[in-house]
Structure 1
Amino acid sequence: MLMASTTQRRIYALVGVAALALTAAACKGGDGTTNDNLSKPECAAFKDYSGIAGKKVTIYASIRDTEEDLLKQSWKDFENCTGVKIDYEGSGEFETQVKVRVDGGRAPDIAFVPQPGVVEYFAKGGKLKPLGDKAKTTATQNYSADWLKYATVDGKVYGAPLGSNVKSFVWYSPKMFKDNNWKIPTSWDELITLSNTIAAGGKLKPWCAGIESGVATGWPATDWTEDILLRDQGPQVYDQWVAHTVPFNDPKIISAVDRAGSILKNPAYVNAGIGDVKSIATTAFQEGGLPILAGKCALHRQASFYANQFPKGTKVAEDGDVFAFYFPAIDAAKGKPVLGGGEFVVGFADRPEVQAVQAYLASAHHANTRAKLGNWVSANKGVDLANVANPIDKKSVQILQDSSSVFRFDGSDLMPAAVGSGTFWKEMTAWITGKDTKAALDAIEASWPK
């Protein structure tokens, strides 16, 4: 599944040698004022972040609106206790504007980057600073190697994860399942048997979907491909495909796309409550699963964040209006494949206050503080499930913390932009509307940068 921001630094004006300034920084803020807050009991959790009072750190990201407000709340105590000021800007044009700003010499101190390919682009271009020692130690302690590798370039770790999402979910109506005595499928075969049972009943088609998303139309279909490829061929082939050592039109990839098509392009299965197979391409992804609430659809594959697309007042819970189950594995003996995504906290500067903010955002303390505010999923191993109130968020965290889970990042976000957010989206849309699998994959393969 990128107004200008100006980085400002307050000058620490002291008459004397640099050594004196360094000594004073341990007990005074960056503007020469004493920071007494760290001695307060309520600030005990931040005692290791001294010497940054009076400093400012700018952050640029795509997180906006309510999510932005919650994010700012999550680090408010850190700001109050350490005296550092975090100047955050969320933008709907982050993906394009972050490159414009960096190339124009106006880089933020920190960015939350959701595409590992962009992290690599900036790192190889010499724009990013590797994580400082404290941030790297904290990140290594709290995140698995599977996660950290996505922000590691040429052996150097440039970022730690922040928020995460789990894409391997199927949404459903608990009441509909109860009324029809349907059981939650725990294997691929059971999922297909359930789909056939619903289709044979004649009351509704089992699946509903939508892949329209403006200039990003097609991305939900790429998520289907990635999720099923993990199940159909396993993580090794998935990694080879992302790295392009297995081409897009390889028989293994064709097999996975055809398996996705056995649902998405099956007229007996889709598009419940909306139209025919082709209607998937013109149905907004936000609306793709809404027929579940109207009793016109039974199943909708979409990420954990889809909970936010249901109307206000919808109860998302195992006994609620809607809930989601894990998208079953094809061969459970090979582990629990999980497709997901998230943001990485990377730095374009490495001043002490920037490193301190990166270290804090990688900590279990921040992850739990943000979790308590709701609507949050994190792969941080230090997250206490008791702090995750939302049922689907809790289920997501449990999956991410499950040692049997085989996690892989969204493949299109790892590929060159011309493919991942270009021909892959475009050709999967054409595939939905009737293009042959091999022809679509041939076109994507031909577009891979030479």
Structure 2
Amino acid sequence: MRFNATVAVVAVACALSACGTGTSTGGDGPLAGQAAEVVGTWSGEEQARFEKVLAAFGEKTGAKITYTPAGDELPTVVQTRVSGGTPPSVALVAQPGFAAQLAKSGAIKPVASEVEQAVSEHYAPIWKTLGSVDGELYGVYFKAANKSTVWYSPKAFEDAAVPAAVPGTWDEFLAAGRALADAGKPAVSIAGADGWTLTDWFENVYLRTAGAENYDRLAKHEIPWTDPSVRVALEELAKLFGNQQLIEGGSSGALQTEFPKSVTNVFGDPGKAAMVFEGDFVSGVISSSTDAVVGEDAAFFPFPSVKGSEPGVVVGGDMAVQFKDDEVTKQLMAFLASPESGSVWAAEGGYLSANKSITSDTYPDDVTRELAGQIVDAGDNVRFDLSDLAPAAFGGTKGAGMWKDLQDFLADPTKLDETVQRLEADAAKAYAP
């Protein structure tokens, strides 16, 4: 999930009124004269690349497909559209918890049998499970993200004479950060203005300190956020958040830094920090916003082990769900489940898929191939972004719930008791039947 402040007002107003900003013109084909609208979070370069996917569908079928960007406000936009009786044909939803709410309310439709068959053929079983509600498949994961990567500037490490450029443990990561700070370079640029990045920090630490079983239980709110396992993860995270020398601009500066800026803080000229934690989509910002070359000036390593934990991968993804049951919508969903659709964006860069039928040589570089391979090779041994599994009111709403509580924790990591109490209060309210 990413948020582009420059288009926020236009995107939200447009989505609420059901107008589109990008259109595949359609043409001859079996669906000529038919139309559908897709709502998603993407804007800018991501929107342009997704529109190429929709254009490929339009050229194949003759259908006219309109794309409307909604940014981080997508849950609000979709709910408003549904309530107003003007739902889109398809939405790309980043929160399975929100998709489950839509399914249980009857707002979205189960996928057609041919779509389910495509998912079974091209995806590991975990992705079918994640797209299902009460055993029925409602969604197709079109785009995936590897959210367990730390991106760094090799030059910054060399200039600081840091001996290990690839920290394997959390203690080594913090030690490298202190060495970088001592050499005059803040270790990490944190995008604290975008609360979703802080949930990713927490989830990676929690998976490694609490284990997969507790991760699953917390995601379902089967254990409270006041559980000792949550405190342990926050205590580890406070070792970073509480050291102002390790953070570019300190906590106050981080809380004013949006995600794209956190990346250019590391890979722009001059670089202001040595590392930035986030998903594979960091590479797209590097390529589009800096002169750094991914694989040369920019590299990544897996999120480090904490307290001797086994390797783990936190993933995210954008799931296509359908609000309409007409032929053009069904065929569009089947297309999005196919390797053909994902290959269009994969060739452009800035994209990963859990679709195992997309060949590795489709991706444009070795770094992206490695990132995509980690997701596919992990099979069912992945854990989905916990905040996206939660109800949107807790895990996916700007300025509220988990996003806001972790922003407050970044501002003052000493307030651990207050943080877990607020997290539990917000979660209990959001998970209440």
Structure 2 length as normaliser, TM-score?
A: 0.84
| Match status 1:389 vs 2:369 | no
**Aligned counterpart, 1:409:** 384
2:243 maps to which of 259, 263, 266:
266
CA distance in 1, matches of 2:290, 2:247: 25
| Match status 1:209 vs 2:185 | no
| Match status 1:425 vs 2:425 | no
| Match status 1:244 vs 2:225 | no
Task: Provide the secondary structure at the position in 2 that maps to 1:340.
Answer: strand
Q: How does 1:187-198 map to 2 (within 5 A)?
A: 187-198=169-180
Cα deviation per residue 1:164-201 (whole Å; 9 max; x = unaligned)? 222211121122334535331234343244334434x4
Q: CA RMSD in A?
A: 2.6
CA distance in 2, matches of 1:419, 1:312: 32
CA distance in 2, matches of 1:344, 1:250: 31
**Aligned counterpart, 2:346:** 371
Contact kept? 2:284, 2:349, Cα under 8 Å: no
Give the letter aligned to residue 65 of structure 1: G
Give the letter aligned to residue 430 of structure 1: D
Task: Provide the secondary structure at the position in 2 that maps to 1:108.
Answer: coil
Contact kept? 1:226, 1:411, Cα under 8 Å: yes
**Aligned counterpart, 2:35:** 56
1:285 maps to which of 219, 241, 259:
259
**Aligned counterpart, 2:281:** 305
Task: Provide the secondary structure at the position in 2 that maps to 1:60.
Answer: strand
Residues 138/222 of structure 1: CA separation in 2 closer, same or farther (3 Å cut):
same
2:115 maps to which of 101, 124, 135:
135
Cα deviation per residue 1:37-67 (whole Å; 9 max; x = unaligned)? 6xxxxxxxxxxxxx53432222222222332
Cα deviation per residue 1:417-439 (whole Å; 9 max; x = unaligned)? 33223232222222222251122
Q: How does 1:29-428 map to 2 (within 5 A)?
A: 51-92=30-71, 93-179=73-159, 180=161, 181-199=163-181, 201-213=182-194, 218-268=195-245, 270-272=246-248, 274=249, 276-293=250-267, 294-310=270-286, 312-320=289-297, 322-330=298-306, 334=310, 336-403=311-378, 406-420=381-395, 421=397, 422-428=400-406
Residues 239/190 of structure 1: CA separation in 2 closer, same or farther (3 Å cut):
same
Give the letter aligned to residue 202 of structure 2: T
Identity %: 27
- What is the CA-CA distance between 1:299 and the residue it aligns to? 2.2
Cα deviation per residue 1:52-97 (whole Å; 9 max; x = unaligned)? 3432222222222332222222243432232233232223443312
Residues 125/404 of structure 1: CA separation in 2 closer, same or farther (3 Å cut):
closer
Contact kept? 1:70, 1:370, Cα under 8 Å: yes
CA distance in 2, matches of 1:89, 1:404: 32
Give the letter aligned to residue 111 of structure 2: L
CA distance in 2, matches of 1:312, 1:64: 15
CA distance in 2, matches of 1:129, 1:6: 22
Cα deviation per residue 1:389-418 (whole Å; 9 max; x = unaligned)? 145433321221223783222212222233
Cα deviation per residue 1:118-141 (whole Å; 9 max; x = unaligned)? 211110001211110110110122
CA distance in 1, matches of 2:68, 2:41: 8
CA distance in 1, matches of 2:334, 2:263: 38
Residues 423/370 of structure 1: CA separation in 2 closer, same or farther (3 Å cut):
closer
CA distance in 1, matches of 2:292, 2:275: 17
Cα deviation per residue 1:315-355 (whole Å; 9 max; x = unaligned)? 242212x2322212337773x31123221111112223221
Residues 433/66 of structure 1: CA separation in 2 closer, same or farther (3 Å cut):
closer
Task: Provide the secondary structure at the position in 2 that maps to 1:432.
Answer: helix
Give the letter aligned to residue 284 of structure 1: E
Contact kept? 1:166, 1:340, Cα under 8 Å: yes
CA distance in 2, matches of 1:163, 1:299: 25
Residues 88/418 of structure 1: CA separation in 2 closer, same or farther (3 Å cut):
closer
Task: Provide the secondary structure at the position in 2 that maps to 1:130.
Answer: coil
Residues 381/314 of structure 1: CA separation in 2 closer, same or farther (3 Å cut):
same
CA distance in 2, matches of 1:177, 1:364: 39
| Match status 1:5 vs 2:18 | yes
CA distance in 2, matches of 1:403, 1:166: 11
Of residues 436-445 and 290-299 in structure 1, the stretch that sits farther from structure 2 once superposed is 290-299
